[in-house]
Chains A and B, each alone.
Chain A
Amino acid sequence: MNSEDKTLVEIIGENKQIDLAKYINYVSAPQAGAITTFSGTTRDTFEGKTVVELRYEAYVPMAIRNLKSICSSARSSWDLHSIAVAHRVGSVPVGEISVFIAVSATHRADALDACKFLIAELKASVPIWKKEVYSNGEVWKENTEFLERRFKHGKDGSRCRRKIKTEARDIKGCCK
């Protein structure tokens, strides 16, 4: 690995907003012609229900380890300069950012593709959970990316009670 590779992974504690400028500054470099960022924000509705807030929790040491591993994978596929990933835990009200990714590269194709890969991988395998809180209840969410990927984590898919229909993108969760 290039000794100049810069990767920053942080889990942000409760009630603290993500400092976007910090991470953009981190990945900025004279040789990087492109910086791509992704912000995941809490939206106000889900399937017609009004969302009050999202509440996140994480298996922090494993999440950090996992994210660093995903960043390494991205580097092996694209020519990147720096990567920064930050994810909040605790309550994230509507409109606020829960996850932020910044990637820099010499050329924009690498930066754009790597950024897309990083968020997809995060949603498929990093041990972070969110609970969607409505005015009349709350439910633990399940990422479809994870459900599709479960077989790779050592589970025998045939034992899952609910069928996963990937063609129709109609993926039913197991724990609901």
Chain B
Amino acid sequence: MLLFPIDFIGASSFSAVALKEDNTLGILHQQVQVQFVINQVLRPIVNMKTKEDNLPAVQSVVKDGSFVQIKVLFFAKARDITGLTELSMEVSSGSTTQDCLNKLVAKFPNLDEIRQCIVLALNEEYTTESAVVKDKDELAIIPPISGG
């Protein structure tokens, strides 16, 4: 039975909410000695070990250069498919534009419909799928153009 003290009436009696083994609650009024209360109720509470010393050390999140952040722009049919004009994407350092495109197709499978038709631009210049992306690069997904 667990006791949750709610009132000490003088030095010789106390009231408590009791959680009994059958999970029912009851109000307990006991004429007991103070020592009982100290030994059986308060001391166990005070002696509860704090767990702070046992916490694992907080791992600081350090950017060690293994990822780069790029911005991806979608135009025309590509935007229709993804529903987005742009998104921010994290890729591993050394990734090519093709790696980025693979990641985008994995995220938006319907992009596969136009994958063979699109060209890519990196930082406002046409690029190949073997070009390596750097941090803060802007990659544009360019479906067949139709200006003029």
A-side residues, CB < 8 A to B, are 40, 56-59, 61-63, 65, 87, 98-99, 119, 122-123, 125-131, 140-143, 146-147, 150, 153-155, 159-161, 173-175
Contact = CB atoms under 8 A, between A and B. Distances in A.
Interface in B101-148: 113-114, 116-117, 119-121, 124-129, 140, 142-148
B14 interface: no
Interface stretch (B30-38, B43-51, B70-78, B87-95): B70-78
A154 B128 CA distance: 5
A174 B116 contact: yes
The secondary structure that dominates the A interface is: mixed
Interface residues of B, number: 26
A154 B126 contact: yes
Interface of B: 73, 75-77, 80, 113-114, 116-117, 119-121, 124-129, 140, 142-148
B147 A122 contact: yes
A87 to B, nearest CB: 6
A68 B148 CA distance: 16
Nearest to B73: A59
Contacts of A175: 77, 113-114, 117, 143-144
Nearest to A40: B148
Contacts of A153: 119, 126
Nearest to B81: A175
A175 B79 CA distance: 13
Contacts of B147: 56, 58, 63, 87, 99, 122-123, 126-130, 143
Most chain A CB within 10 A, of B75, B113, B129, is at B75
Contacts of A174: 114, 116-117, 144
Nearest to A152: B126
B121 A160 contact: no
